Amino acid sequence: MIDAYKKYLSEILIDEVTLQERVQALGEQITRDYADLDNLILVCILKGGVMFLCDLTRHIHVPHEVDFMAVSSYGKGARTTTRNVRIDMDLTTHLTDKHVLIIEDIIDSGHTLQSVMHLLETRRPASLKLCTLLNKASRREVEIPIHYIGFEIEDKFVFGYGLDLDEKFRNLPFIGVVDTSQL
């Protein structure tokens, strides 16, 4: 079942080479922006952000820490947020006086990240910024400051490269569009 994903794939939206080139460019920009700062910590939002984080951190050439948060606002099989943000796993690192860069796979309505940012702001970081691989601006319901964007995408249901389709296919090296007629 190596190609099990193919029945759900309507098109490859962002191929592997394009993804990796953009991730490298983001890493280089972050390196420049944080070159003179101490105490950088990348906060990855699980589970979707982990593939992006793993590749991105290899291209950030300033000392940094990594920590993880599991946050949910989507139920299993859901394609839209419930707007009820739940912290399933919190950070183990204290953020006071650290430069925090949140790493996210996709920003849609903005509700989840708005809640996460409000929570992390209460922990008194030196700075708090946001990096997302995918930005679906057409679905935004709340304004949030995004400092680093990998790709602007249309309102399409996507999977692969960390993004799941009912918790599967995160391992794909590209981002595909779901053929919703197969669901």
Number of Cβ within 10 Å of residue 123's Cβ equals 14
Q: Residue 149 — left, alpha, or beta (φ > 0 → left; ψ -120 to 50 → alpha)?
A: beta
CA 4 to chain centre: 24
In the DSSP assignment, the letter for residue 165 is B
In the DSSP assignment, the letter for residue 5 is G
Alpha-helical runs (H) found in the chain: 16-33, 50-57, 111-121
What span, in angstroms and rounded, lies between the C-alpha atoms of 38 and 50? 23
Give tens-digit pLDDT for 97-107: 999 999 999 99
Q: Residue 80 — pLDDT band, cuts 50, 70, 90?
A: low
- Residue that wins the pLDDT comparison between 73 and 103: 103
State the average pLDDT for the chain. 93
For 150-161, give the DSSP string: EEE--S--EEBT
44-64 mean pLDDT: 97
Q: What tokens appear for 36 in the block?
A: 């003179």
Active site residues: 108
Give tens-digit pLDDT for 102-147: 999 999 999 999 999 999 999 999 999 999 999 999 999 999 999 9
The CB-side HSE value for 74 (13 A sphere, CA atoms) comes to: 22
**99 by DSSP, 3-state: which?**
strand
- Which CATH fold topology does 4-182 show? Rossmann fold (3.40.50)
Contacts of 17 (CB under 8 A, 6+ apart): none
